[in-house]
Structure 1
Amino acid sequence: MAPIYAVVSFVGLLDVDGSKPFFTFLESVKECYEALVTKFMALMYSYLNISLSKDIVPDEIKGREIHNSFPMSLFLVQPYIEALKYWTWQFVAVRPICSVLMIICQVFGFYPSWLSWTFTIILNFSVSLALYALVIFYHVFAKELAPHRPLAKFMCIKGIVFFCFWQGIALDVFAAAGVIKSHHFWLDVEHIQEAIQNTLVIFEMVIFSVLQQYAYHVAPYTGDMKTRFENKKTQ
């Protein structure tokens, strides 16, 4: 995610006077990739040797109880492993569809406030359900997943989204309060706000790229970790 977010933000800086549909397109590129990364659940399944397509579930985790937490328990049925997969992957479809519709509305000049709020509500519900499923899955299988550091992997993904989202909210507040003002080099405050956000994202992605090398270390795929584990056992 770090390289893609950085490149998209850099392109936004190159064309800081771009149109609103152009900025919407850039944001959609980042957010659609976020939806793809939500298939993080598939990685967790592979760690546990679960294959729902072949109905393969290891004996040691069969019968593991999965309970809904309040308030999700009020309107969601008892979750099973297969249900958690669909709750997570629905965002992979919802995010791109909403992004495409948003771009089309921007291009044709039909984007009233009520439609913007509709997209926001749909996306927030979708991503909340996906995150809830990931948290429930981690809570139930935390012991088996511990050697793979899933929490660090998850935080590297959602940390990027967290910083970008709340930075955007903070910049909106600063713009509304008059802290961010128009400048003679740009037409309006909105473009300055976009430029600040893109600049901050570029610097933050440098930090996240370093953190991701820890969370998604290459050692498990080179045999180094297995060798160290076997040596430790012999000692």
Structure 2
Amino acid sequence: MGHGGVPIYLYVIAFFCTCGAIALSLLHIYRHLLNYTEPTFQRYIVRIVFMVPVYALMSFLALVIPMGSIYFDSIREGYEAWVIYNFLSLCLAWVGGPGAVVLSLSGRILKPSWFLMTCCLPPLPLDGRFIRKCKQGCLQFVILKPILVVLTLILYEKGKYKDGNFSPTQSYLYLTIIYTISYTVALYALALFYVACRDLLQPFNPVPKFIIIKSVVFLTYWQGVLVFLAAKSGFIKDADEAAQLQNIIICVEMLLAALGHFYAFPYKEYAGANIGASRGLSASLAHALMLNDFYHDTVHQVSPTSMSCGIVLHTYITCSQTRRRLGPLYDYM
């Protein structure tokens, strides 16, 4: 038997699944970097695909070194937020950026829907404010998650945090509630954006991409919560065994995710593209790792002046459309 009463053969399965997942993902990233013909899209794809090595390695290390699991889990959870940001950024890049989305959706509304839980709200205009709210819904998770990870580590060192301990005197319960709210808001923002831009995203085959991202990021989170609830209910021996089983399951799932990424984010569609020439492996990797896009995007979204800029953009777009309709008469006016 391994740590926490888990059979040793499960550790062997986790090891081979981890090695396979990391090897497949690194090969996938390598192929993208060799065919880095659309940097605007592929920088986000490389970051998303790298989630598999991070998830798999951190889960396996937490499995074999349980005393350090809190630190390995923190790295894995921090990368979750990064994946959400990059996926939304990729979707916006596909449709030409926020300005192009506003232009394409100008005059359209999102009708009240039971499925989207907007049945009690008036129709939502698909304008710059709507896109901004979707981005903010994802960015709050990106910003909040690392803060909660640091807070978790501090509380752990003070003996106030233990995975799976739902006692009111421990912080796990309260952090899980905050995590859940933040997760839900981010997921809801992604869902609203997808429904609004579904027609624009259709040429990029977004459905498998949405499925694999949500499966890895959101379902693994709920999977962890359910495993710890099973331990609390007595179906699993204790929280330590629950944590070990969760790590083993993630290692296996990452092998499946690595295979899914090949289908959802194929490098072949960029190979030999006429859009641009690959800049070389090292230069492509450096471009993918640069964080200037995240910095500028975050500053723009939290800046109080960005709303005014959005209104100006919307006004400009409206005037441009009016100008095209009126033609010479507009110039005369």
The TM-score with structure 1 as length reference comes to: 0.77
Relative to 1, partners in 2 of residues 1:107 and 1:140: Cα closer, same or farther, differing over 3 Å? Answer: same
Q: 1:208 aligns with which of 245, 257, 266?
A: 257
Q: What is the alpha-carbon distance in structure 1 between the residues aligned to residue 274 and residue 236 of structure 2?
A: 50
Per the alignment, residue 43 of structure 1 pairs with: 90
Per the alignment, residue 184 of structure 1 pairs with: none
Q: What is the alpha-carbon distance in structure 1 between the residues aligned to residue 274 and residue 263 of structure 2?
A: 13
Structure 1 residue matching 2:236: 3-state secondary structure: coil
Q: CA deviation at 1:35?
A: 0.6
Relative to 1, partners in 2 of residues 1:216 and 1:91: Cα closer, same or farther, differing over 3 Å? Answer: same
Tell me, yes or no, if structure 1 residue 147 matches structure 2 residue 203. Answer: yes
Tell me, yes or no, if structure 1 residue 10 matches structure 2 residue 60. Answer: yes
Q: 1:190 aligns with which of 239, 263, 275?
A: 239
Unpaired segments ≥5 residues, structure 1 = 182-188, 227-235
Structure 1 residue matching 2:109: 3-state secondary structure: coil
Q: What is the alpha-carbon distance in structure 1 between the residues aligned to residue 123 and residue 84 of structure 2?
A: 22
Structure 1 residue matching 2:136: 3-state secondary structure: helix
Q: Is the 8 A contact 2:232 2:239 kept in 1?
A: no
Q: CA deviation at 1:120?
A: 2.1
Q: Is the 8 A contact 2:138 2:186 kept in 1?
A: yes
Q: CA deviation at 1:165?
A: 3.0
Q: Is the 8 A contact 2:209 2:265 kept in 1?
A: yes
Tell me, yes or no, if structure 1 residue 27 matches structure 2 residue 73. Answer: yes
Q: Deviations over 1:191-213 (max 9, x none)?
A: 32222221221111111110111
Relative to 1, partners in 2 of residues 1:73 and 1:26: Cα closer, same or farther, differing over 3 Å? Answer: farther
> Percentage identity across aligned positions?
31
Per the alignment, residue 135 of structure 2 pairs with: 85
Q: What is the alpha-carbon distance in structure 2 between the residues aligned to residue 3 and residue 149 of structure 1?
A: 24
Q: Deviations over 1:103-157 (max 9, x none)?
A: 1011122347363333222222222111111111111111121121222112111
Structure 1 residue matching 2:61: 3-state secondary structure: helix
Per the alignment, residue 44 of structure 2 pairs with: none
Tell me, yes or no, if structure 1 residue 137 matches structure 2 residue 193. Answer: yes
Q: Deviations over 1:53-82 (max 9, x none)?
A: xx5557433333235656457699956112
Q: Is the 8 A contact 2:62 2:73 kept in 1?
A: no
Q: What is the alpha-carbon distance in structure 2 between the residues aligned to residue 75 and residue 101 of structure 1?
A: 36
The alignment covers a number of residue pairs equal to 212
Q: Deviations over 1:150-191 (max 9, x none)?
A: 22112111212344234334433443344434xxxxxxx333
Q: Is the 8 A contact 1:219 1:225 kept in 2?
A: no
Tell me, yes or no, if structure 1 residue 161 matches structure 2 residue 161. Answer: no
Q: What is the alpha-carbon distance in structure 2 between the residues aligned to residue 139 and residue 107 of structure 1?
A: 43
Q: What is the alpha-carbon distance in structure 1 between the residues aligned to residue 172 and residue 217 of structure 2?
A: 20
Per the alignment, residue 146 of structure 2 pairs with: 96
Unpaired segments ≥5 residues, structure 2 = 1-50, 162-166, 276-333
Q: What is the alpha-carbon distance in structure 1 between the residues aligned to residue 239 and residue 195 of structure 2?
A: 41
Q: CA deviation at 1:27?
A: 2.0
Q: What letter corresponds to residue 87 of structure 1 in structure 2?
A: G
Relative to 1, partners in 2 of residues 1:135 and 1:225: Cα closer, same or farther, differing over 3 Å? Answer: farther
Between 22-31 and 7-16, the greater mean CA deviation after superposition: 22-31
Between 66-75 and 169-178, the greater mean CA deviation after superposition: 66-75
Relative to 1, partners in 2 of residues 1:104 and 1:75: Cα closer, same or farther, differing over 3 Å? Answer: farther
Q: What is the alpha-carbon distance in structure 1 between the residues aligned to residue 148 and residue 100 of structure 2?
A: 34
Q: Is the 8 A contact 1:88 1:134 kept in 2?
A: yes
Q: Is the 8 A contact 2:111 2:123 kept in 1?
A: no
Per the alignment, residue 317 of structure 2 pairs with: none
- Report the structure number with the largest CA radius of gyration: 2
Q: What letter corresponds to residue 92 of structure 2 in structure 1?
A: Y
Q: What is the alpha-carbon distance in structure 1 between the residues aligned to residue 265 and residue 215 of structure 2?
A: 14
Relative to 1, partners in 2 of residues 1:141 and 1:225: Cα closer, same or farther, differing over 3 Å? Answer: farther
